[in-house]
Structure 1
Amino acid sequence: MMLRVFVTVAAMLAFTVALVVVVLAPLQWPVLIWTGVVLAGVLFERARYGAARAAPVGGDWRETPERFIDDASGKVMVVWVSPSSGERRYVAADDDVNAPANELQ
C-alpha cells in the first residue's frame, strides 16, 4: 500500500517538474508527454485494480477457485470473472470462511 502511494506521488511530482520545464523551455515537450503517460498509467492502475467490491449480481459472473490474502486488509479475497468481457473483480470472502494466512499455503 505504501509503495502505491510513493509511486503515485513520485509520478505527480515528475509531471509537475516536467510541466515547469516545458514552460521554461518549450522544446522539451516530449518530457511532458512521457511523464504524463507514466502518471496516467499509475492512476489507471489504481482505478483498475482498486479496492474490494461487493459480489457481482446478474450477468454471467462466476466465482473462481482463486483466493489470495489482501495485503492492505489481511482478508481472504475471492476472484470473480465475467467470461464474456474478461473483467475480474475481487470480493472479500465471508468472515466464517477466512482462514489465517498459514492455513492457505
Structure 2
Amino acid sequence: MSPGARLAALGLAAALATGALALLGLGGDKGSPIAYMLGLQAVLIVIGTVFEARYRGRKSVAGAQWQRTSEREIDHETGTTLEVWFDPVTGERRYVPAGQLPG
C-alpha cells in the first residue's frame, strides 16, 4: 500500500471513529447500534492498515536456489531489460535487471 493510500485509510478510520463518538454522545440509545458499527469499521481499517505491511513481501530464504528462466521483460517506466528468476522451493519469482543476480 502506498503511503498516500495508507494515510487516506487512517484518515477514514479517524472520521469513522469521530462519527461513532459523536453518535454515542448525542444519540443516546437510538444511535448506539450505528455508533458501534462505525467504531468496529474504524478498528478493522486500522488493523488492516497497520498489519498490511507484514504480508507485502517475503524475505529471501537463506540458501535460496535461484534459477534464471528464459523470460525477459521491459520495464516500461525505466526502459530497463529485466530477467525473471525463479526459486523452486518457495515458488517466488524475481524480476532483476539483466546481468544482476537476485539478492
> Under a length normalisation based on structure 2, what TM-score does the superposition of the two structures give?
0.55
Q: Distance in 2 between matches of 1:93 and 1:29?
A: 50
2:80, 2:49 → 1: CA distance? 30
Distance 1:59 1:22 in 2: 45
Query: Hey, what does 2:57 align to over in structure 1?
Result: 48
Which residue of structure 1 aligns with residue 67 of structure 2?
A: 62
| Code of the aligned partner of 1:67 | R
Q: Partner letter of residue 12 of structure 1?
A: L
Q: CA RMSD in A?
A: 3.4
Show CA shifts across 1:28-83 (max 9, x none). Answer: 13322146536755x568x539xxxxxxx953210011211123322011111110
One-letter code aligned to 2:5: A
Q: Distance in 2 between matches of 1:15 and 1:39?
A: 9
1:2-81 equivalences in 2 (<5 Å): 8-25=3-20, 27=36, 28-32=38-42, 33-34=44-45, 36-37=47-48, 41=52, 43=53, 47-48=56-57, 59-81=64-86
Distance 1:38 1:71 in 2: 29
1:11–1:35: 8 Å Cα contact kept in structure 2? no
Count residues in correspondence. 81
For structure 2, list consecutive stretches of 5 or more residues without a partner in the other structure: 22-35
In structure 1, how many angstroms separate the alpha carbons of the residues matched to 2:47 and 2:4? 13
* Displaced runs of 4 or more, over 3 A: 38-41
